[in-house]
Chain A
C-alpha cells in the first residue's frame, strides 16, 4: 500500500503519453499533455505527505502542536500548476492558428513539414 500513490503518478504519466501519441485532435493532445503534468503534481504531493499531518498553515494551529506536511513540495506543485496553465494557454493559441491556417486540427492531416 505504501507505494500506491507513487504508482498512480507513474500510471497517469504513461496514460498521458499514450494519449498524446494516439491523439487525432490537437486540442485533445494539449489536454493529454496536461494529464502528463498532473502526474508530476501527484508525485510531488505524494512525496511530501506525512501520516496524520495537517496543512502547513499556522493561522489556526499552535506551532509545534501537530505535524504538518512538507510545505516545499506544495510550493513546487503551485509553481508547476502555473507553468502548466500557461503552457496550455500558449499551445492552445497555436492550435487556434493551426486550425485557421490548415483548416484542420487532426495531426494526421498536417503534412507541411517532413523529410
Chain B
C-alpha cells in the first residue's frame, strides 16, 4: 500500500498537466469538472492510505531502499500526522474548487484550465511537503506550494491591493525559504545526510549541541515560522489573505499556514530532539514565548479590523500562536489536542472565508462598516457565519473546541487563560461582524482614522455581482462546518487522531482524549466572553474602539516589504537568543 505514497504528488500533477495540455480546447465546465475529479480522487487516495497508516510505513522513492542503514534516495513517511495534513489539504482543495465551480472569475482567454491546474499543483505541493521525510525535499515542496500560492494570491491582477499583497507574500516567504536552505546546508555539512532521521542521528553522534546546531535550527525554523506566520514573521499573512481570491484564502488559512506549524513539529521531533539537538527546555521557551506573542498580537489586531477578510486573517495568526504554544509544551497530550484543533480550525475558518466570499460577490464589499445591515436577507449565510464564529470561540462540541480543551489542560495555568482570551477575542470580532452585517444591530461604528485598510471598493470575484447565490457556494461552507462539528462529536475520532499522532511523535504513548467537564467549562466560558464582547462592541462602539496604545501596533503593519524583511532578521535573532541558554549550558 505504501508504494502508492508518491502518487499523492503525481496524480494531481498529472491532472494539472493534462488540464494545461488540452485546456485550450476545453470549455470552462469541463476544466472545472476535471479539476474537481482529480482533486477528489487524490483525496480518496490519501484517505485510503491514512486508514492503512498504522503502523507507519516509509517508502523510498525510486526503490532506493537503504543498504546498511544508508540510502541515496528520498524517503516518504506515511504516518498519521503527515497523511492527516495531506488529507486536510486535499479535502480543502476539493472544497475550494467546488466553491469556485463555474462562478469564479473568468480565466485568461483560452486558458480555461489554468485556475484548476494551479489549484491541483498547490494540492500536490502541500501533500508532498506533508509526507516527505527528507529535509531538502521538504524545501522543494515548500517552494512549490509557495510559488503556486504567490500566483494564486495575485490572481486578480486588476486589483492594486492584490498584486501588492502577493509580492510581499512572495518576497518574505522566499527569503524564509532561503534561510531554511542555508540551515539545511549547514546540517548537511555536519552530518553528510539529507534524510531527517539520519540527520538527527548524525547530530547525536557528534555530541552535545554547539553553535552550528543552534544556527541551523534557527535558520530552518525561521523558514517554517515564516510560513506559519508567527510573530514577528507574520506581517505578510494579513496582506496576502486580505487580497487573495476567497477559494485561495480557504486553502491559505485553512491548511498552508498550519503546514508551517506541522513542519516545525516534524523537524524538531525528527532532527533536533535527540541529545545532539536543541534541548527541550530551549524549544519550549522559544515556541511558548513566540506563540504567546503571536496569539496576543493576532487577537488584538483581529479585533480592530473592519476589512472582514483581514479580520479573519488575523484570527488565523492568533490561532497559529495557540498551535505553537501547544506543540511547544512538548507533551503527547498537547500534540493530540493541537492536531484536533488544526482540523477543527480548518473547517471553521474555511467556512467563514467562504461566507465572506459570498458577501463580496453579492454586495461588492467586504467592509464591516459599509455592509452594516445590508445582508439582512442572507439568512442562510448569516446562520453559517454565526455558527462559524461560535466554532472559532471553541463552543463544544466542535472539533476545535475538543482540541483546544485538551491542549489547554496540557498547557495548564496562565497559558490556558491565554487560549480562552485569544480565541474569545477573535470569535468576538467575527460575531460582531455578524451582528452588524447580517442583523444591522447597533449604530454605524466610527472610523478609526486613516491608518487602516478598508474593505470597500473591491471587485467581486465573479463575472459581475451575483443576483443570487449559487448552491455550490452555500453548500461548501455548510459542509465544512458540518465536518468540523462531526469531527468533535463522532465517538472515537479524537482517540483515533491521538493514537495516530502519538504513534508518529511520542513513541505510542496512550493519552485520553475526550470531553472533560473542565474542558467543556472553558469552552463555554470563551464562547460567553466572545458573545459578550460582540454585544458590547455593537451596542457601545466607542467603548471598545481602538485605544491610543494600539496605534503603534497597527503602524507596524505598514505594508512595506522592507519593514517585513527587517522584522524577519530580528525574529531570527530572537529565536537564536531564546535558544541560546541551553546550547551555552552544555
* Direct A–B contact in complex, judged by CB atoms less than 8 Å apart: yes
Q: What is the interface of chain A mostly: helix, strand, loop, or mixed? A: helix
In the complex, residue of chain A having the shortest beta-carbon distance to the beta carbon of B136: A76
**Would you call B143 an interface residue if the criterion is a C-beta within 8 Å of the partner chain's C-beta atoms?**
yes
Q: Which of chain A's residues have a CB closer than 8 A to the CB of B304?
A: 115
**Would you call B452 an interface residue if the criterion is a C-beta within 8 Å of the partner chain's C-beta atoms?**
yes
Q: Are A91 and B170 in contact (CB under 8 A)?
A: yes
A113: which of B150, B164, B182 is its contact (CB, 8 Å)?
Answer: B164
| A90 touching B160 in the complex, CB below 8 Å, given contacts A73-B188, A107-B560, A115-B557 | no
A21: which of B150, B170, B181, B562 is its contact (CB, 8 Å)?
Answer: B562
Q: How far is it, in angstroms, between the C-alpha of A76 and the C-alpha of B568 when the chains are bound?
A: 25
B163: which of A36, A73, A76, A97 is its contact (CB, 8 Å)?
Answer: A97
Q: Which of chain A's residues have a CB closer than 8 A to the CB of B174?
A: 33, 37, 87, 91
Q: Which of chain A's residues have a CB closer than 8 A to the CB of B186?
A: 43
| A40 touching B182 in the complex, CB below 8 Å, given contacts A26-B167, A101-B160, A114-B453 | yes
Q: Which of chain A's residues have a CB closer than 8 A to the CB of B568?
A: 17
CB-CB contacts below 8 Å: B152-173 with A: 154, 157-161, 163-168, 170-171
CB-CB contacts below 8 Å: B546-575 with A: 554-555, 557-563, 565-566, 568-569
B565: which of A20, A26, A39, A90 is its contact (CB, 8 Å)?
Answer: A20
Q: Which of chain A's residues have a CB closer than 8 A to the CB of B509?
A: none
Q: How far is it, in angstroms, between the C-alpha of A17 and the C-alpha of B174 when the chains are bound?
A: 12
Q: Are B562 and A97 in contact (CB under 8 A)?
A: no
Q: Are A47 and B185 in contact (CB under 8 A)?
A: yes
Q: Are A113 and B147 in contact (CB under 8 A)?
A: no
Q: Are A115 and B554 in contact (CB under 8 A)?
A: yes
* B432, chain A: closest CB distance, angstroms: 17
Q: Which of chain A's residues have a CB closer than 8 A to the CB of B64?
A: none
Q: Which of chain B's residues have a CB closer than 8 A to the CB of A72?
A: 188, 194
Q: Which of chain B's residues have a CB closer than 8 A to the CB of A37?
A: 174, 178
Q: What is the interface of chain B mostly: helix, strand, loop, or mixed? A: helix
**Would you call B175 an interface residue if the criterion is a C-beta within 8 Å of the partner chain's C-beta atoms?**
yes
| A98 touching B167 in the complex, CB below 8 Å, given contacts A40-B181, A115-B453 | yes
Q: Are B565 and A112 in contact (CB under 8 A)?
A: no
Interface footprint category on B? 35 or more
Q: Which of chain B's residues have a CB closer than 8 A to the CB of A95?
A: 167
**Would you call A59 an interface residue if the criterion is a C-beta within 8 Å of the partner chain's C-beta atoms?**
no
Q: How far is it, in angstroms, between the C-alpha of A94 and the C-alpha of B159 when the chains are bound?
A: 12
Q: Which of chain B's residues have a CB closer than 8 A to the CB of A79?
A: 136, 140
Q: Are B167 and A94 in contact (CB under 8 A)?
A: yes
Q: How far is it, in angstroms, between the C-alpha of A102 and the C-alpha of B559 when the chains are bound?
A: 14
Q: Are A98 and B178 in contact (CB under 8 A)?
A: no
Q: How far is it, in angstroms, between the C-alpha of A90 and the C-alpha of B163 when the chains are bound?
A: 11
**Would you call A69 an interface residue if the criterion is a C-beta within 8 Å of the partner chain's C-beta atoms?**
no
Q: Are B147 and A112 in contact (CB under 8 A)?
A: no
Q: Are A36 and B175 in contact (CB under 8 A)?
A: yes
**Would you call A110 an interface residue if the criterion is a C-beta within 8 Å of the partner chain's C-beta atoms?**
yes
Most buried by A among B182, B185, B186, B451: B185
Q: How far is it, in angstroms, between the C-alpha of A37 and the C-alpha of B176 when the chains are bound?
A: 11
**Would you call B151 an interface residue if the criterion is a C-beta within 8 Å of the partner chain's C-beta atoms?**
yes
| A113 touching B161 in the complex, CB below 8 Å, given contacts A47-B185, A90-B147, A94-B154 | yes
**Would you call A61 an interface residue if the criterion is a C-beta within 8 Å of the partner chain's C-beta atoms?**
no
A17: which of B188, B243, B557, B569 is its contact (CB, 8 Å)?
Answer: B569
**Would you call B239 an interface residue if the criterion is a C-beta within 8 Å of the partner chain's C-beta atoms?**
yes
Q: Are B560 and A110 in contact (CB under 8 A)?
A: yes
CB-CB contacts below 8 Å: B297-339 with A: 304
* B4, chain A: closest CB distance, angstroms: 25
Q: Which of chain A's residues have a CB closer than 8 A to the CB of B158?
A: 101
Q: 1/0 contact trace for A16-51 toward B, CB 8 Å?
A: 010011110010011001001101100110010000
Q: Which B residues form the contact surface with A (CB < 8 A)? A: 136, 140, 143, 147, 150-151, 154, 157-161, 163-168, 170-171, 174-175, 178-179, 181-182, 185-186, 188-189, 194, 238-239, 242-243, 304, 448, 451-453, 554-555, 557-563, 565-566, 568-569
Question: Closest 6 A-B residue pairs measured CB to CB?
Answer: A115-B452, A101-B160, A113-B559, A47-B189, A97-B163, A114-B559
